[in-house]
Amino acid sequence: MTASVWINGRPGRWIDVFDRGFQYGDGLFETFLIRNGTPVLWEAHMARLRRGCERLALPMPDPGLLYDEALRACAGVEAGVLKLQVTRGGGGRGYAPPREVEATRVFSRHALPPALSVWRQDGVRVRLCRTRLGINPALAGIKHCNRLEQVLARLEWNDPAVHEGLMCDGEGFLVEATMSNVFWVRDSVVFTPGVDRCGVAGVVRDWVMHRLQAWGTTVRTVRVKPTVLVQAEEVFLTNSVIGIVPVVAWEDGRWPVGPVTRRLQEAWRP
Amino acid sequence: MTASVWINGRPGRWIDVFDRGFQYGDGLFETFLIRNGTPVLWEAHMARLRRGCERLALPMPDPGLLYDEALRACAGVEAGVLKLQVTRGGGGRGYAPPREVEATRVFSRHALPPALSVWRQDGVRVRLCRTRLGINPALAGIKHCNRLEQVLARLEWNDPAVHEGLMCDGEGFLVEATMSNVFWVRDSVVFTPGVDRCGVAGVVRDWVMHRLQAWGTTVRTVRVKPTVLVQAEEVFLTNSVIGIVPVVAWEDGRWPVGPVTRRLQEAWRP
C-alpha cells in the first residue's frame, strides 16, 4: 500500500508554497490506526485536535466533514495508518495570519510498520537522546507541526535494533519518546511523565491512564530523571499506531514484559 | 509587485505534501533585502544558513547555485524582499529523514512594507507579548521553520499602530521581538539580549554589533527582564528588511530617536 493523499477532500499531492504549514509549521496533526475501514479512537483524536485548534486560535474544521473524508480514505483498508494534518492555510510572508483563515486539511494513508507484531510480542530496545525538549506550556500537550526537536532526536541514531529514543526536557526530566509516550511500573503503581511543560498528550496515553484507573491501579504523572527507569519492574511505550509496546532494553537496563503491560495489551483491542 | 516563486530553480507555486517542511517545519529560511537587483548582505545570510544546516544536519545547497537563483529572482528589482526557504525535502511519514536527502529550495520575491520609511524616520510602537520562547540551545540562533511561538505572539494583537511585540523566554528574560532583534542604549553602552538559549541571531544584529565595536562603542549581550528598557535612553529594532528602526513607545515608556540609532541608520546604506 503506497500513500494515498486527499487535500481538502480531493485526491492530490501538492500544497501551496505559501501554506503556513510549509512556511512556519503552523498547524496540527493526528495519526490514526485504521482497523476494518475505520479510524480508531476517532472521538479522542478529535478532542485533542480541538484543544490544539483552541490553543493555536485555528478554526477547527467541521468534524462531520473530517469524518466523512476519513471514512473515504479508510474504505476497504483492514489495517493501516491514517494521518490528518490541519494547517492555517495560505498566508503569504509574515507571522500575522490573514483575517480570514481557511484551514488546509490533508489526509494521507500509509501502511502499518511491518514489524509491529514483533514489537508488541517481544518488546523493543530504546536509547536516551541528547536532544532536549524546550519547555513551553503554550505548545505542550498538543500535536503541532513544529517537530524539529523530534527530527533532531531521531537523527541521533540509525541502528535499526533501537526502536525509540527517550527525551528529556531542558532541565533533564524525562518527558516522552520521539514518537510515543512512556510508562513504567514499580510497586504496583504506574508512572508516566506529565506533559504540561512539553511533550504530547497521546491519545493512547489517555486511554491507558483511564483504563488503569478503572481497574483501580494507581497512576501517577511525575517529573523525574530518566534513571528512575532502572528501578522499574516494567516499562512500555504507547502511541496510536503501535498501541502498547513493551520496552525490554535500555543501555544496561533489561526488563521483562510484565503483567501490567500484557493486561493492557489484551484490553487494547482496536 | 505580487509574489513570484521559484522552486528548485524553476518558476512554480506547489510543494509536495510530503516535503518535510510541510510535515514538520523541518527547514530553514533567510529573508533578504533586495537593492538594485542584488540581495543585500548575501555572505552573512549564507553564513547563517550554513550554521543552520550544520545544526540540523541538513545538506547545504551549493551557494553558487543559490546565488545564481537569487540574482535571477532579483533581476530588475530596485527594492524588495527575497525569501529563501531550504527544507529537508521529501520524506514520508516519520521523524527519521531518508538516507539520501535532497533539500528543497524555494525563493519568493515580495514587496517592501509600504510604511518602511515612516518607521525608520518616526520610529514605532511595541508591546510586550505574553507568549514565551521555549529555551532550547539546539535550536537557538538559527532561523528554522518552527515558528509557532512567533505566530502565537503575533496573534496577540491586531492594532496596526503597534509594529512589533517583544518576547521573553520561559524564565521571563527579554530575547527579541517576533520578527526583529532589539537593542537599547544606556550611559553610552549598547545592550542586546543573547540568543544562545532561544531567539534568532539576526544578520543586521551582527552588523550593528560589529559596526558599534568598530566605532569603539561598548556592546553587551545580556540576560535581563524587559523592564530594563524603561531606563534606556534609546531603543531600536533590527532585521534584514527594516534595517534599523527606532522604538519610540512601549506602554508608558517613551523614547526619543537617539543619536546612536541615527548614526547606525546613516551607516546602514544597503
Place of cell 527517550: A166
- The pLDDT of residue B251 is 87
Give the Cα separation of A17 and A23 in Å (integer). Answer: 7
Whether chain A has a CB inside 8 Å of the CB on B239: the answer is no
- The pLDDT of residue B92 is 62
Phi, psi of A62 (to 5 degrees): -60, 120
**Are B16 and A13 within 8 A, CB to CB?**
yes
Distance from CA of A254 to the nearest CA of B (A): 25
- Name the residue among A231, A176, A225, A226 with its Cα closest to residue A199: A176
- The pLDDT of residue B13 is 95
Three-state DSSP class for B174? strand
Give the Cα separation of A256 and A167 in Å (integer). Answer: 22
Whether chain B has a CB inside 8 Å of the CB on A60: the answer is no
Please give the grid coordinates belonging to residue B172. Answer: 521571563
- Name the residue among B200, B199, B182, B201 with its Cα closest to residue B261: B182
- The pLDDT of residue B8 is 97
Residues of B in contact with A144 (CB under 8 A): 148
B171 is catalytic: no
Report how far Cα A178 is from the mean position of its chain's Cα atoms: 9
> Which residues share a beta bridge with B234?
B185
Give the Cα separation of A35 and A70 in Å (integer). Answer: 12
- Catalytic residue numbers of A read 31, 143, 176
**Are A134 and B135 within 8 A, CB to CB?**
yes
Kindly compute the dihedral angle of the four CA atoms of residues B7, B12, B17, B19, in this order, to the nearest 10 degrees: 0
Residue window 72-91, chain A: list those with CB within 8 Å of chain B.
81, 83, 85, 87-88
So what CATH class is A116-267?
A: alpha beta
What SS3 string covers chain A?
CCCEEEECCEECCEEECCEHHHHHCCEEEEEEEEECCEECCHHHHHHHHHHHHHHHCCCCCCHHHHHHHHHHHHCCCCEEEEEEEEECCECCCCCCCCCCCCCEEEEEEECCCCCHHHHHHHCEEEEECCCCECECCCCCECCECCCHHHHHHHCCCCCCCEEEEEEEECCCCEEEECCCEEEEEECCEEEEECCCCCCECCHHHHHHHHHHHHCCCEEEEECCCHHHHHHCCEEEEEECCCEEEEEEEECCEECCCCHHHHHHHHHCCC
- The pLDDT of residue A270 is 84
User: Which strand (E) or helix (H) includes residue B266?
Assistant: helix B259-267
Give the Cα separation of B247 and B229 in Å (integer). Answer: 11
- Read off the pTM: 0.97
- The pLDDT of residue B1 is 40
User: Which strand (E) or helix (H) includes residue B237?
Assistant: strand B234-239
Confirm whether B4-110 and B116-267 share one CATH topology. Answer: no
**Are B153 and A17 within 8 A, CB to CB?**
no
Give the Cα separation of B165 and B173 in Å (integer). Answer: 14
The pLDDT profile of chain A, 270 residues, written as one tens digit per residue, is 456 999 999 999 999 999 999 999 999 999 999 999 999 999 999 999 999 999 999 999 999 999 999 999 999 999 999 999 999 999 866 999 988 899 999 999 999 999 999 999 999 999 999 999 999 999 999 999 999 999 999 999 999 999 999 999 999 999 999 999 999 999 999 999 999 999 999 999 999 999 999 999 999 999 999 999 999 999 999 999 999 999 999 988 899 999 999 999 999 988
So what CATH class is A4-110?
A: alpha beta
- The pLDDT of residue A138 is 97
- The pLDDT of residue B212 is 98
Give the Cα separation of A45 and A146 in Å (integer). Answer: 18
pLDDT digits (tens, 9 = 90+) for A12-29: 999 999 999 999 999 999
Q: Are A237 and A180 in contact (CB under 8 A)?
A: yes
Residue among B17, B106, B198 whose CB faces A7 most closely: B17
- Name the residue among B142, B107, B145, B138 with its Cα closest to residue B23: B145
Give the Cα separation of B110 and B116 in Å (integer). Answer: 14
Residue A233: burial class (beta carbons within 10 Å; 0-12, 13-18, 19+): middle
Whether chain B has a CB inside 8 Å of the CB on A114: the answer is no
Place of cell 508512572: A191
Residue tagged active-site, from B30, B69, B143, B261? B143
**Domain segments of chain A as ranges:** 4-110, 116-267
What parts of chain B have a pLDDT lower than 50? Answer: 1
Closest residue on chain A to B170 (Cα): A136
- The pLDDT of residue A11 is 96
